[in-house]
Amino acid sequence: MADTVSNLFRLWTIARTLGRHDALIPREYLSAIPPSLKLVRRLLGLGRVKGDTGTPGERLARALESLGPAHIKLGQILATRPDIVGAEIAGALEGLQDRLPPFPKADACAAMAASLGRPVAELFASFGEPVAAASIAQVHEAETTEIPPRRVAVKVLRPGIEAEFARDLSALALAARLAERLLPEARRLRVAALIGTLAESTALELDLRMEAAAASELAERTRDDSGFRVPSVDWSRTAARVMTMEWIDGVPVRDVEALRAAGRDPKQVAVTLMRSFLTQTLREGFFHADLHPGNLFVDSEGRLVAVDFGIMGRLDAPMRRFMAETLAGFLARDYMRVAQVHFEAGFVPRHHPVETFAQALRAVGEPIFGRPAREVSMAKLLQQLFETTRRFEMQAQPQLLLLQKTMVVVEGVARGLDPDFDIWEASRPVVERWMLDRMGPEARLREAAEGVGALGRVAQHLPQLLRNAEIVSAMLAGGGLRLHPDTARQIAEAQFARDRGVRVALWLAAGALGVIATIWII
């Protein structure tokens, strides 16, 4: 109960902050809202921030930044969901800034000594001031004590960040559960799953050993990719709150003129970025999900180097196949196949005709073909797809959230390198290669061999399966299946516990709504 009250108080604080920034019920929508909501807007907006101008999306971005790290991360996910927040707000949230003032170097040193169990002087010959600071951690340049010393980047978590995230995520989870109980649209959009995705991704970010492991795994998976590499991890100087990696001397991809001065073709860098991302996604099912310009460099050998592995995405084999076939279908303008892929995956309810869904997909795809590359946007395509799938009751897929976000960011970086970047031509070789590897003749032979192996494993258990079938048949012939009394009792207890849980959940939802209503009335 105490947690529920705490969560409700935090939700009230969040609502007040959004109201003060005129981001909860924006003034632009006043003519379309009932008088009761106008009163709520007036109460929540007391003490409004002066000079808070701009579009509703820009005001929302500033409000989320002021609320702290968990809300910044939520805003970054919402930027990929124009079906929830609308295209204008999603576009504004793409520029959400994940920057905070650095915390003192002395606090970083204390955290390292506590985490690694050794004084900083034993670990590093030199340890500099922070060179970058974000909502979760900051980075320092240092040199190790080996001879010769190695330059490294040391990432240290902010003090108290775990408790701050736990508080806000608990409140947001409560809000999502209430929304899904009260609003059918919230259930369709799976807002609770969205908050769950946020919680899972931040839990990984808050344990720097997990980030180090992600970097190590991606390095192994891309070892043979000539155009892309990952810095090495210094495991002896890495713990839950501290991570040490190889320092990267490279040209930032955001500096186009510096790339040219270094003899690198920005257009080729853009192609390498897109193909590396798609290769990680389709071939490995494991991809860097935070490929913004500050995390990308080009080294002296012309390879693209990524840093900051706090946000990684995974796609299972069925989802990778769904993604590849969808992209291949759009590339081939085979809209019926794209529609069938959605139906085969169970994403679109069967009561919708597949032909009508294919027609809707054609309305999305055809306008982009034959247009100049600079006018074709993956972000806009995703927006139109969201709107189309919403009309056909397609549920949001949590696995695709980070993929959608990263695709939009990668496209933006590529456009910065090459305004005429053709995302489709850059993508085509990777998609076609994956389709050939996974769906060509050799792949079919591999699947057949695996099938034979599976049949062999089933055959090993066939005697037991036959015995079980005989027992079941005998029970049916004797008047039905009979359960052991202990089994029957456990089933009854489980059913009672489940029903009680549902009742308690409903009571909590009703109580929460009552508290919120009381606060609003007051």
- The 10 Å Cβ neighbour count of residue 519 is 14
Would you state the pLDDT for residue 442?
53
Would you state the pLDDT for residue 498?
39
Which residues is 312 bridged to in the sheet? 288
H, E, C per residue of 359-413:
HHHHHHHHHHCCCCHHHCCHHHHHHHHHHHHHHCCCCCCHHHHHHHHHHHHHHHH
pLDDT digits (tens, 9 = 90+) for 228-251: 999 999 999 999 999 999 999 999
| Mean pLDDT on 318-323 | 86
Task: Rounding to the nearest 10 degrees, give the CA dihedral for residues 44, 47, 52, 54.
Answer: 20
Q: Which has the minimum average pLDDT: 70-74, 287-291, 511-515?
A: 511-515
In terms of DSSP bridges, do strands 228-229 and 304-306 run parallel, antiparallel, or are they unpaired? parallel
pLDDT digits (tens, 9 = 90+) for 97-129: 667 789 999 999 999 999 999 999 999 999 999
The structure tokens listed for 501 are 């849980």
CA atoms within 13 A on the CB side of 480: 2
The structure tokens listed for 53 are 């101008």
H, E, C per residue of 298-328:
ECCCCCEEECCCCCEEECCHHHHHHHHHHHH
Would you state the pLDDT for residue 519?
41
pLDDT digits (tens, 9 = 90+) for 456-474: 554 555 555 455 445 445 4
Q: Could you give phi then psi for residue 29, rounded to 5 degrees?
A: -105, 10
The structure tokens listed for 110 are 């204390």
Would you state the pLDDT for residue 51?
66
Q: Which long-range contacts (CB under 8 A, 24 or more apart) does 137-144 make?
A: 137/161, 137/208, 137/310, 138/102, 138/103, 138/108, 140/105, 140/108, 141/247, 142/244, 144/234, 144/237
The ranges assigned to domains in the chain are 2-98, 251-439, 443-477
Residue 290 is among the residues annotated as catalytic for this protein: yes
Taking the whole predicted model, whether its pTM rises above 0.75 is answered as no
Q: How far apart are the first and last CA of the chain?
A: 22
Length of the chain, please?
Answer: 522
In this prediction, residue 2 has a pLDDT band, given cuts at 50, 70 and 90, of low
Would you state the pLDDT for residue 512?
39
Q: Could you give phi then psi for residue 404, rounded to 5 degrees?
A: -60, -45
What average pLDDT does the structure give for the chain?
Answer: 79
- Decide: 141 and 151 in contact? Cβ < 8 Å: yes
Among 234, 290, 308, 418, the active-site one is 290
Asked if pLDDT for residue 220 goes beyond 80, the answer is yes
Q: Could you give phi then psi for residue 478, rounded to 5 degrees?
A: -90, 10
For the chain, percent of residues with pLDDT exceeding 90: 32
